């Protein structure tokens, strides 16, 4: 039976705050709050026309990245689509450089050449930030291919939206990744809409974790509003890959509170539906756990929030004060080979 | 000097580079157990094993993407397309991903990959199997495009392509795989971006590349009998274009005909003609002419193919026109 996409995702059994240390909860709280505050600021700045381009916010989906980074290995690789402001942040890049990229400044992570949809961080194994829906699916398998070729133990976490799964490249990639047993976890962030198109309007197959079945790829649904569930699923999938068993598919059920991008009147869904999800907010959930267990006090969490807001303000100041690229930068980073003879007249 | 086939030259280039660098590998349809659809990779599975010579399913977009991802993560893939006609399915990965990665990552990720395969018409295969793609891909900043016409150039350019840190597209030809030519025993490279004057002359310049070089050289031979000395410039690389060699030749001969299998609209010939009128206008004694494939898809029937593709007679007619020898 297809799930009704417009109803809250079914909860996995909730571990009794189990298995995770207070430090992990604190980290989840801090990471998610940084993502949330950073992007709330992005939304404001965008509305104030401080920068241009597209601006796709991750707000509502933060538990996925928070739970993912505590479960994955230091050297594991990440690749994703264009809803990617939070990926460098959660991996440890400063909000300053992430913000500067949005502003198109030389101090940005891609020197202002990639913008909102193209965050890369080679040192932290973030392979982008890709604006072509689905393009990263094959790239992710290729990253895993290289690691396997060299006999490495890394796993690639290849993220995509529920819309991206309808691209043909998914099927080609799933097939080859399974045939060659590539160490890649395919992660569908099912926020139930691709722009204004709901999952149920794009296919008869709405249980997206079953999409690997024709290739014998194991898959399972995950509650994307709970860090614990994401952490557990990623840990299991990574272990599966690292043991040489080939790919694993996770459909992480989530929700974006904001529009697809900043120019989205959201006629395709109701306010009630959005509210329903906000009631399950992952940040509030982790806050509750921290307080209930007396792992943190209200005052401590408030102070954390204050510090994050301040850091975000500083990031904005840094971005606004950073230099814009000079015109000669146009000719840099197009070819690796030095002195490429561009046609200039 | 020994003579070997064009396909053998390509095979030597790949095999030598794979012996030299363990990060180089070959993937594509039928490259391993079948020894290559056109036998370019003959014997390579036996030498390098299935880890490095990899048969793929018929999934051009998917395996091109796996190649690009592997290149981002430190390998140097050679991706063979059975022909460039089929690589259209992979063009998103070539154009939107391989070509853009370095810039969009602010210089963090480069993509040292080679895409190669047969290009252009190849007999009576009809419209979908008969296209040339040099102009299409040369339009894209971030890519390099080479299109060798001889076994010597094919080997030297493919070796350079494999060592290059940028994505390089190698346009071969089903019609040339069996061609024989001199190739030295020792190692050599042909640099990317350097054209080659394959025949010297003083009366007219003919610029061409890939298998149209045969047409250009045959026309030059005929013209010689009539006392016309044509200089034939083989571009070898389409992007970046070696404009210096083209301009030097035109400044000497004052006349130019470009022979190009691409369709005429925004073709390689168009770009060459633009460059020459821009930088050698005062040296031209006649308008630049071009001989391209006709501005239609290439049909099946032989007389229609003959009416479309460049041939020596059309080139000779164009040369006579730029020399004002034609009625
Ligand atoms: C190949 C391609 N087609 C269309 C688009 C335009 N587009 C951008 S995002 C998007 C929706 C994708 O939705 P989904 O994969 O669910 O990701 P989400 O936005 O929900 O994170 C579309 C159609 C694109 N960028 N690339
Ligand atoms: Mg979606």
**For helices A95-102 and A298-321, angle between their N-to-C axes, nearest 10 degrees:** 50
A145 to B165: CB separation less than 8 angstroms, yes or no: no
Per-position pLDDT tens, chain A of length 345: 344 444 444 444 344 456 899 999 999 999 999 999 999 999 999 999 999 999 999 999 999 999 999 999 999 999 999 999 999 999 999 999 999 999 999 999 999 999 999 999 999 999 999 999 999 999 999 999 999 999 999 999 999 999 999 999 999 999 999 999 999 999 999 999 999 999 999 999 999 999 999 999 999 999 999 999 999 999 999 999 999 999 999 999 999 999 999 889 999 999 999 999 999 999 999 999 999 999 999 999 999 999 999 999 999 999 999 999 999 999 999 999 999 999 999
pLDDT reading at B292 higher than 80: yes
Query: Closest Cα to residue B16, out of B39, B46, B64, B48?
Result: B48
Q: Which atom, in ligand 1's list, is nearest to the CA of A190?
A: 16
Q: Is this complex scored with an ipTM above 0.85?
A: yes
Chain A residues with CB under 8 Å of B240 CB are 340-342
Give the mean pLDDT of chain B: 98
What's the confidence (pLDDT) of residue A9? 43
In angstroms, the separation between the Cα of residue A333 and the nearest Cα of chain B is: 5
A120 to B106: CB separation less than 8 angstroms, yes or no: yes
The answer to whether the beta carbons of residues A135 and B65 sit under 8 Å apart is yes
Cα–Cα distances in angstroms (integers) from residue A141 to residues B9, B120, B298, in the given order: 31, 31, 37
> For residues A328 and A208, what is the distance between their CA atoms, to the nearest angstrom?
46
What pTM value is reported for the model?
0.96
Q: What is the mean pLDDT of residues B103-112?
A: 98
Q: Cα(A209) to centroid of ligand 2, in Å?
A: 14
Residue ranges, CATH 3.40.50.920, chain B? 196-322
Would you call B141 an interface residue with chain A, using a CB distance cutoff of 8 Å? yes
Catalytic: B60?
yes
Question: Which residue in B8, B129, B261, B271 is the catalytic one?
Answer: B129
The tens digit of pLDDT for each residue in B245-290 reads 999 999 999 999 999 999 999 999 999 999 999 999 999 999 999 9
What's the confidence (pLDDT) of residue A256? 96
Q: Which of A120, A172, A329 to mutate to test the interface with B (most CBs of B within 10 A)?
A: A172
Nearest by CB to residue A113, choosing from B63, B64, B104, is B104
Domain boundaries, chain A: 22-331
Nearest by CB to residue A120, choosing from B75, B92, B108, is B108
Beta-carbon contacts below 8 Å between A and B = 152
What's the confidence (pLDDT) of residue A19? 87
Q: What is the mean pLDDT of residues B75-87?
A: 98
What's the confidence (pLDDT) of residue B130? 96
Q: Cα(A82) to centroid of ligand 2, in Å?
A: 11
| Class for the domain spanning B3-182 | alpha beta
Query: Closest Cα to residue B105, out of A336, A96, A122?
Result: A122
- Joined together, the tokens standing for residue A89 give 């942040």
Q: Among positive and negative, which fits the CA dihedral A193, A197, A198, A204?
A: negative
pLDDT reading at B236 higher than 70: yes
Number of Cα atoms under 13 Å in the Cβ half of residue B34:
14
B196-322: CATH, from 3.40.50.920, 3.20.20.70, 3.90.79.10, 3.40.50.10540: 3.40.50.920
Would you call B72 an interface residue with chain A, using a CB distance cutoff of 8 Å? yes
- Report the C-alpha dihedral over residues A47, A282, A280, A1, rounded to 10 degrees: 100
Would you call A344 an interface residue with chain B, using a CB distance cutoff of 8 Å? no
Strands A184-190 and A77-80: unpaired
In angstroms, the separation between the Cα of residue A13 and the nearest Cα of chain B is: 37
Q: Which residue of A has its CA nearest to B57?
A: A176
Would you call B194 an interface residue with chain A, using a CB distance cutoff of 8 Å? no
A135 to B93: CB separation less than 8 angstroms, yes or no: yes
Distance of CA B271 to the CA centre of its chain: 16
CB of A161 within 6 A of ligand 1: the answer is yes
Q: Cα(A193) to centroid of ligand 2, in Å?
A: 4
A22-331: CATH, from 1.20.1530.20, 3.30.420.40, 1.20.1440.230, 3.40.50.970: 3.40.50.970
CB of A84 within 6 A of ligand 1: the answer is no
**For helices A227-242 and A62-71, angle between their N-to-C axes, nearest 10 degrees:** 40
CB of A191 within 6 A of ligand 1: the answer is yes
B69 to A140: CB separation less than 8 angstroms, yes or no: yes
B61 to A128: CB separation less than 8 angstroms, yes or no: no
Chain B residues with CB under 8 Å of A341 CB are 193, 240
In angstroms, the separation between the Cα of residue B325 and the nearest Cα of chain A is: 33
A172 to B59: CB separation less than 8 angstroms, yes or no: yes
What's the confidence (pLDDT) of residue A17? 52
A172 to B57: CB separation less than 8 angstroms, yes or no: yes
Which residue from A83, A128, A133 has its CB within 8 A of the most atoms of ligand 1, so it is best to mutate? Answer: A133
**Which three-class secondary structure string do you get for chain A?**
CCCCCCCCCCCCCCCCCCCCCHHHHHHHHHHHHHHHHHHHHHHHHHHCCCCCCCCCCCCCCHHHHHHHHHHCCCCCEEEECCCCCHHHHHHCCCHHHHHHHHCCCCCCCCCCCCCCCCCCEHHHCEEEECCCCCHHHHHHHHHHHHHHHCCCCCCEEEEEECCHHHCHHHHHHHHHHHHCCCCEEEEEEECCEECCEEHHHCCCCCCHHHCCHHHCCCEEEEECCCHHHHHHHHHHHHHHHHCCCCCEEEEEECCCCCCCCCCCCCCCCCHHHHHHHHCCCHHHHHHHHHHHCCCCCHHHHHHHHHHHHHHHHHHHHHHHHCCCCCHHHHHCCCCCCCCCCCCCC
The tens digit of pLDDT for each residue in B188-223 reads 999 999 999 999 999 999 999 999 999 999 999 999
Catalytic: B110?
no
The answer to whether the beta carbons of residues A211 and A220 sit under 8 Å apart is no
The tens digit of pLDDT for each residue in B129-175 reads 999 999 999 999 999 999 999 999 999 999 999 999 999 999 999 99
The tens digit of pLDDT for each residue in B172-186 reads 999 999 999 999 999
């Amino acid at each position: 039976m297809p799930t009704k996409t417009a109803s809250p995702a079914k909860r996995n059994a909730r571990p009794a705050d189990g298995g995770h240390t207070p430090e992990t909860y604190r980290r989840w709280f801090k990471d998610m709050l940084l993502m949330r505050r950073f992007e709330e600021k992005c939304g404001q700045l965008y509305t104030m026309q401080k920068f241009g381009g597209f601006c796709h916010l991750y707000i509502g989906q933060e538990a996925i990245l928070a739970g993912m980074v505590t479960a994955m290995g230091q050297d594991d690789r990440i690749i994703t689509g264009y809803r990617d402001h939070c990926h460098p942040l959660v991996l440890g890049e400063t909000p300053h450089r992430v913000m500067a990229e949005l502003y198109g400044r030389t101090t940005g992570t891609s020197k202002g050449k990639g913008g909102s949809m193209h965050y890369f961080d080679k040192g932290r194994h973030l392979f982008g930030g890709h604006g072509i829906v689905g393009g990263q699916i094959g790239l992710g398998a290729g990253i895993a291919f290289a690691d396997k070729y060299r006999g490495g133990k890394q796993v690639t976490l290849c993220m995509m939206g529920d819309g991206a799964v309808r691209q043909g490249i998914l099927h080609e990639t799933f097939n080859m990744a399974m045939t060659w047993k590539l160490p890649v976890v395919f992660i569908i962030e099912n926020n139930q809409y691709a722009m204004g198109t709901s999952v149920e309007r794009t296919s008869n197959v709405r249980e997206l974790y079953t999409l690997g079945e024709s290739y014998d790829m194991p898959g399972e649904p995950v509650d994307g509003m709970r860090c614990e569930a994401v952490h557990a699923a990623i840990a299991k999938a990574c272990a599966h890959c690292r043991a040489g068993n080939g790919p694993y598919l996770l459909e992480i059920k989530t929700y974006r509170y904001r529009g697809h991008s900043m120019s989205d009147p959201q006629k395709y869904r109701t306010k009630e539906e959005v509210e329903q999800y906000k009631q399950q907010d992952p940040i509030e959930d982790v806050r509750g756990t921290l307080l209930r267990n007396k792992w943190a006090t209200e005052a401590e969490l408030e102070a954390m929030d204050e510090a994050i807001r301040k850091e975000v303000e500083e990031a904005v100041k840094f971005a606004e004060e950073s230099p814009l690229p000079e015109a000669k930068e146009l000719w840099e980073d197009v070819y690796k080979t030095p002195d490429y003879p561009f046609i200039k007249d | 000097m020994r003579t070997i086939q064009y396909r053998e030259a390509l095979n030597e280039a790949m095999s030598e580079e794979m012996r030299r660098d363990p990060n180089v590998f070959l993937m594509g349809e039928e490259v391993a157990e079948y020894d290559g659809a056109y036998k370019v990779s003959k014997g390579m599975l036996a030498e390098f094993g299935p880890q490095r010579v990899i048969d793929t399913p018929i999934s051009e977009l998917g395996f091109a993407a796996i190649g690009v991802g592997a290149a981002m993560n430190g390998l140097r893939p050679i991706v063979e397309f059975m022909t460039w006609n089929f690589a259209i399915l992979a063009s998103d990965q070539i154009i939107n991903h391989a070509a853009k990665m370095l810039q969009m990552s602010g210089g963090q990720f480069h993509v040292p990959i080679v895409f190669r395969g047969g290009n252009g018409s190849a007999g009576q295969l009809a419209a979908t199997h008969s296209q040339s793609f040099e102009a299409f891909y040369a339009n894209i900043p971030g890519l390099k495009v080479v299109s060798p016409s001889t076994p010597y150039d094919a080997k030297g350019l493919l070796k350079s392509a494999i060592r290059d840190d940028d994505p390089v597209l190698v346009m071969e030809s089903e019609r040339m795989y069996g061609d024989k030519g001199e190739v030295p025993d020792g190692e050599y490279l042909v640099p990317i971006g350097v054209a080659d004057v394959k025949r010297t002359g003083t009366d007219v310049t003919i610029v061409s590349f890939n298998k149209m070089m045969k047409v250009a050289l045959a026309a030059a031979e005929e013209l010689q009998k009539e006392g016309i000395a044509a200089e034939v410039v083989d571009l070898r690389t389409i992007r970046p274009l070696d404009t210096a060699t083209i301009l030097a030749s035109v400044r000497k001969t004052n006349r130019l005909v470009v022979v190009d299998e691409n369709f005429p609209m925004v073709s390689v010939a168009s770009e060459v003609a633009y460059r020459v009128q821009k930088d050698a206008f005062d040296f031209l004694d006649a308008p630049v002419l071009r001989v391209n494939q006709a501005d239609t898809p290439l049909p099946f029937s032989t007389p229609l193919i003959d009416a479309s593709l460049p041939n020596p007679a059309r080139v000779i007619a164009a040369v006579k026109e730029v020399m004002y020898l034609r009625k």
